[in-house]
Structure 1
């Protein structure tokens, strides 16, 4: 009997690896001799670095970088086992965890530190970077990232622009003569399921600005500034980014990467499936267990359980795909079909306060996995 265990993290509770181990522990109470293939997963957001680095037996790298507010912090990223690919979560250097309700200011926050992580990866000689864009505290269109890589963003007096999307209206010229030449030889795969453009009513500022502290007046200012930024990029670099789907990801960082690097957009879960070698490891599986903290009808739009189901069914079509979730939402019946998810189980053991539910999550996941294994044994 072969079980493939490939869950995402239960955000705020357990990492994907911890969820995997809890499921394994529950199953092994009933099937102690079964083969267990653990493949902790992610969808390009939080947990992607850990999932891919561990899956490929790579290593973690720590660097001193600039956080969104200009302070020095320690951030980490992963080098995959092939030593040729880095995996970076932009939030490690430029995420919401570095600001609070008193310090968040999308007019000033910068992606400079994220650019420093890219430079660090270049120093290791990588030829590919997988870059997750979730959890951004910034709205600068990747301007800080470009500055870290050596691009000069100059005002009419020829002075370098200060950090933040609030300064982009002062942009008069972009000079890329000192852009790190190594960046041209590195393929950057942007792991993001966001399809919003850089500007407009569905753009970075309007849709994602409020969660970063932007007031209505700030949103108008930031959107106008990003529009100007895109116009200067089109004029000086010959690259059109204003309406590209996904350009609005991470406060416009998606557009900045397309403008200043050799980047292309990819679905996050597809990248994780590929680089974790999930399909190879799922061959001959009898059962597949996956999961995430919360599941509903939106899970089919790029979330981990649905991606795991599609990937494993393509190589092990008779293996049932079983999802464990901390919260089961609406319309999950839309997830069920022959090539996808077969069953969904809620993991909490009864109604309880959130703090208690988080504390009990590993035990509850283990218990549900054991009960499912018991059911498998008798049918």
Structure 2
């Protein structure tokens, strides 16, 4: 009997690999004949590099700028001429020094530096995962690292960060076009927000990055000004494109300046892991994430994994820390049943602090339900 475990991380608690190991231990305790196959899962946010390295890519280290300019050791994952870059690992929220937010000045420059390194090393296909960003800079830092110039009225470079874009008056893109010639760029993006307005980058995600209501208003003005400048430079307006507001506007420059294709992050990651072949013929697929809620239903990892399982004719169950979804909601996205840690331990903080024994117990419960 083959069970495939393809769970995302439980954010802030336990990684995808540890989820799989604990659930696998529990499955084998309950049914010793069960064979467990772990497929690493991520959706383009934090954990993406680890997932693709576990799937057979090689990690190439790169030192680049963190969100507030300090150097951090990150890198990209490579297989053949394909590179995978994770924004969160370079200049995401997890890289803020001391966890202190910098909503007005944080920059996406570092991820552009890693992209530049991958391209310089001969990678002709680059997949960029953009979840978990710390900045709302419209992607200006990223394209500056690739050779663009963002200048003020005096012809000087504007400061890093979203607030600095209010002073931008001209944009030079010749160097970036030359650098990206022959490069296929795909962006893994799991949101559909536009760049500006009430559902835009600043309004929707700015508060999560430490922005006050006043900051949000200023950043939204900066994004609108930036969109006007980019539009006049490239000849088309992409501010309303689905996903333009992702990662504080990185999605916007990806489409408008870099000519990137935006795709659902989980679908891309499953392709890279060879998921369809791995799940074919399995008796059960176990997916999961820290919390199953309404956000899950908007295309997060669990839904993507479940859809692939259903397409392969494999029954799907989920493990999680907390589940707020009704059974019918789960069944509509292909999940037959959810097993939650807080069904075993009602203290959520204990679930977060020590999830492995509880995950092992959930594995035993799943084994007992196997037919």
Normalising by structure 2, we get a TM-score of 0.94
Give the 5 Å matches for 1:358-373. 358-373=352-367
Q: CA RMSD in A?
A: 2.0
| In structure 2, C-alpha distance between the alignment counterparts of 1:229 and 1:68, rounded to whole Å | 19
Partner-residue secondary structure (3-state), 2:352: helix
1:343 is the counterpart of 2:337 = yes
- Cα distance, 1:238–1:10 mapped onto 2, change above 3 Å: same
Secondary structure of residue in 1 paired with 2:181: helix
Question: For the residues of structure 2 that align with 1:14 and 1:45, how far apart are their CA atoms?
Answer: 15
Structure 1 contact 184–262 (Cα < 8 Å) conserved: no
Q: Distance in 2 between matches of 1:280 and 1:222?
A: 45
Counterparts of 2:306 and 2:100, CA distance in 1: 41
The alpha-carbon deviation at position 122 of structure 1 amounts to 0.9
| Residues 251-306 of structure 1 deviation map (CA, whole Å, 9 limit, x = unaligned) | 11110122221311111111112111111111111111111111134423212222
Once the two structures are superposed, what CA deviation does each residue of 1:219-276 show, in whole Å capped at 9, x if it has no partner?
2222112111111111122231221121111111110122221311111111112111
Tell me if the contact between 2:307 and 2:334 (Cα under 8 Å) persists in the aligned partners.
Answer: yes
In the alignment, is residue 151 of structure 1 matched against residue 145 of structure 2?
Answer: no
* Aligned residue number for residue 75 of structure 2: 76
Three-state SS of the structure 2 residue aligned to 1:202 is coil
Moved more, 170-179 or 10-19: 170-179
Once the 2 structures are TM-superposed, how far is the Cα of residue 353 of structure 1 from its aligned partner? 4.3
1:12-32 C-alpha deviation (Å, 9 max, x unpaired): 111111111112111122433
| Whole-Å separation in 2 of the counterparts to 1:23 and 1:138 | 36
Match among 219, 240, 261 for residue 264 of structure 1:
261
For 1:288 and 1:350, the matched residues in 2 are separated by 22
Equivalent position of 1:252 in the other structure: 249
Bigger CA drift: 197-206 or 181-190?
Answer: 181-190
- Asked whether the equivalents of residues 7 and 41 of structure 1 are also in contact (C-alpha less than 8 Å), the reply is yes
Partner of 1:61: 60
Unaligned runs of 5+ residues in structure 1 are none
Please give the secondary structure, in 1, of the residue aligned with 2:321: strand
Q: Please give the secondary structure, in 1, of the residue aligned with 2:180.
A: helix
Give 2:317's aligned residue: 322
- Of 361-370 and 40-49, more deviation after overlay is shown by 40-49
SS at match of 2:198: coil
1:133 maps to 130
Query: Does structure 2 retain, via aligned residues, the 8 Å contact 1:43–1:302?
Result: no
Q: Structure 1 stretch 340-349 or stretch 160-169: which is displaced more? A: 340-349
Q: Distance in 2 between matches of 1:14 and 1:234?
A: 43
